Structure 1
Amino acid sequence: MQNDVIVVGGSYAGMAAALQLIRARRTVLVIDAGLRRNRFASHSHGFLGQDGMDPAEIAASARAQLMAYPTLTWVDGRAEAAGGVKDAFAVTTADGAQHEGRRLLFAVGVTDQLPEIEGMAERWGRSIFHCPYCHGYELERGRIGVIATGPMSVHQAQLIPEWGEVTFFTNGALALDDAARADLKSRAVTIEETPVRRIEGHADVLLADGRTLSFAGLFTASRNAPATPIAGTLGCEIDETPFGTQIRTDATKETTVPGAFACGDVARTPHSVSLAVADGAWAGAQLHRSLVF
């Protein structure tokens, strides 16, 4: 069977796109490996109508709503390869099955490449975050640490004082010029240049000189990359951004391969659930138009 659209990735952006298409009575196959980016977080914030909800519950409810439509098929599995051309694409899953579609949509999400600091990975999404709009309010204007990963971290340190008293750990990731130092000082940001040794407890930063500084939460700017290379192997161009790499798309969310589209975190910055849903909804409508016109 040839589907109208194969959606690779069934998280928020992919499901939002699929919803537009199945409501246009198009046949849609969603292939999902089940690894949502925010699977480590227990609460999702900043998404209108779902503020404070468990993100797993949001995803499960959305999937149940999609499954009520007869033209949707859902495959739990990992898409390993994609080939073909517009109107004749094929996606192969890890079990060897091949699925055909007239259009492709990559909504595979991204991986977060964190600083190599002991104790950081296991606290990611729990007491260490990237988005203050998603998690800053719950820190109750307490002490917040920002751990630098590069020049973009200065912007993070400038913004986060809106949510609490900030200490900026440069951690050897950048050299601050006089202008940046003056700006951070004007925002009451404490600059700490002693290297970070590891993270302990809830959000305790152990420094190389033996000091331990405790915080309500920590922020860092992870570097992102597509969660799977499948779009690149099809031939889609990948762009370098200040945040990492992402799939290049035009205003309609079409990639550089005709008939293949991309949306969500893998195709835009900045990242949040609400922005991913909006991007997916737009991509779904544009995919439908490409089938009509």
Structure 2
Amino acid sequence: MYDAIVIGAGPAGLQAALTLGRMHRSTLLLDSGEYRNGTVLHMHNMVGEDGAPPVEFRATARAELAAYADVEVRDTGATGISGSTEAFQVALADGSTVDGRRVILATGVADDLPAVPGLHDLWGTLAFSCPFCDGHEHAGKAIGILGAAPRAEHLIGLLGRFVGDITVFPVDEAFADEDVRGLESKGARVSSTPVVSVEKDTEGVRIRTDDGERVVAGIFVAAGSMRQRAPFAADLGLAMLESGSIEIDEFGRTSIPGVFAAGDLAHRASLPGPMASVLLAAAAGQLAAVGIIQSLA
């Protein structure tokens, strides 16, 4: 019987395991090998690690956890959760089961990209969603934004101060006249036809439409969405927010006693949505671990 089972080994899960280990709470960390930033070459906006490869960040964290006898790491995912506080049972992908008094969900979210040929191949290297994570690298450079109009306007407001030319490309169908006027009023160019495909170019990204093509340094995706990477929130019947995220309090507590959540998959109701940030995910993992330690005491 572990004091805590942490499902997910991204920044939130790694930090939660570290905090629990430092307080000598028996902890099992499950690492499925799936990460939201798995294709990203360099992470940014993380003090002390700005520009570091995420794979090195995870390796360093794993090495640090090895120094704590109370933390066990298994390279397998979870397939199901049953039971209740003080007696949770977690089924593992390797066919075994483990028991824990508390559970932290840190499985993160998955990004659902628009069906644009070539986009998946560029995701995390030349195609991005977060201006805080990847905007600075495009200072003074031409960029493209792939619809939708409201989110595109938000990105223009954040990026327009320091990037070069911005061209917004609709996805699936052309923008309405009202949307075009709104985007142009923000200083962006607007393609009259939807994007057909994107591909890597020597100068960045080549974006093709039915009436031409344009090469930009990188693209930001405004038309994508995100979803829970794992089914546990639905399986457990956790309270959810309109953003599609798990509702938590300040210490990561969910609507079910003993189940905590941390990282991109959860946020407080006072916030409009989760913020994609390694630093904030790690902080959320630490708070959830503190919440568990308090509850166990």
Q: Same fold (TM over 0.5)?
A: yes
Where do residues 147-162 of structure 1 align in structure 2 (5 Å cutoff)? Answer: 147-149=146-148, 151-162=150-161
What does residue 279 of structure 1 align with?
284
Q: Per-residue deviation at 1:201?
A: 2.5
Q: Deviations over 1:18-53 (max 9, x none)?
A: 111111111110111011111111111110000111
Match of 1:207 in 2: 209
- Aligned residue type for 2:296: L
Which residue of structure 2 lines up, in the alignment, with residue 288 of structure 1? 293
Q: Which deviates more, 82-91 or 229-238? A: 229-238
1:81-104 CA distance string (max 9 Å, x none): 001001110100012211111100
Letter in 2 for 1:218: I
Q: Is the 8 A contact 2:156 2:186 kept in 1?
A: no
Are the counterparts in 1 of residues 250 and 287 from structure 2 also a CA contact under 8 Å?
no
Would the alpha carbon gap of residues 250 and 193 (structure 1) be closer, same or farther in structure 2, given more than 3 Å must change?
farther
CA shift, 1:256, in A, is 1.2
Q: Which residue is 2:221 aligned to?
A: 220
Alpha-carbon offset, residue 272 of structure 1? 1.4
Alignment of 1:39-54 (within 5 A): 39-54=38-53
Q: Deviation per CA, 1:52-83, whole angstroms, max 9, x where unpaired?
A: 11110011101110111000011111100001
1:6 aligns to what SS in structure 2? strand
1:117 corresponds to: 116
1:186 Cα deviation after fit: 4.5
The answer to whether the Cα contact below 8 Å between 2:175 and 2:192 also exists between their aligned partners in 1 is: no
RMSD across aligned C-alpha pairs, in angstroms? 1.7
Distance 1:142 1:290 in 2: 50
Alpha-carbon offset, residue 173 of structure 1: 7.6
| Preserved contact between residue 102 and residue 259 of structure 1 (Cα < 8 Å) | yes
User: Which digits, 9 at most, give the CA deviation of each residue in 1:190-230, with x for residues without a partner?
Assistant: 12231110102231110022x01110000013311111102
Greater CA drift, 116-125 or 162-171: 162-171
Out of 31-40 and 160-169, give the one that drifted further: 160-169
- Give the 3-state SS of the residue equivalent to 1:126 in structure 2: coil
**Counterpart secondary structure, 1:20:** helix
| Partner residue in 2 for 1:93 | 92
Q: Is the 8 A contact 2:21 2:27 kept in 1?
A: yes
Letter of the 1:170 counterpart = P
| Gapped regions of structure 1 (runs ≥ 5) | none
Is 1:18 the equivalent of 2:20? no
Compute the displacement of 1:177 (Å). 3.2
Q: What is the aligned partner in structure 1 of residue 270 from structure 2?
A: none
1:57 aligns with 2:59: no
**Alpha-carbon contact 1:157-1:168 (below 8 Å) kept:** no
Distance 1:8 1:153 in 2: 34
Residues 148 and 154 in structure 1, CA contact (< 8 A), matched pair in contact too: no
Structure 1 residue 133 and structure 2 residue 135: aligned? Answer: no
Relative to the length of structure 1, the TM-score reads 0.92
Residue 230 to residue 46, structure 1, CA distance change in 2 (3 Å): same
Q: Which amino acid aligns with 1:168?
A: V
Do the aligned residues in 2 keep the contact of 1:151 with 1:174 (CA within 8 Å)? no
**Structure 1 pair 156/71, CA: closer, same or farther in 2 (3 Å)?**
same
Structure 2 residue ranges without an equivalent (≥5): 268-273
In 1, the alpha carbon distance for the partners of 2:45 and 2:141 equals: 20
> Percent identical across equivalent pairs?
36
Contact persistence 1:247–1:262 (CA under 8 A): yes
Q: Distance in 1 between matches of 2:174 and 2:158?
A: 18
Aligned length: 285
* Distance of 2:215 and 2:111 partners within structure 1: 24
Residue 238 of structure 2 corresponds to: 236
TM-score normalised by length of structure 2: 0.91
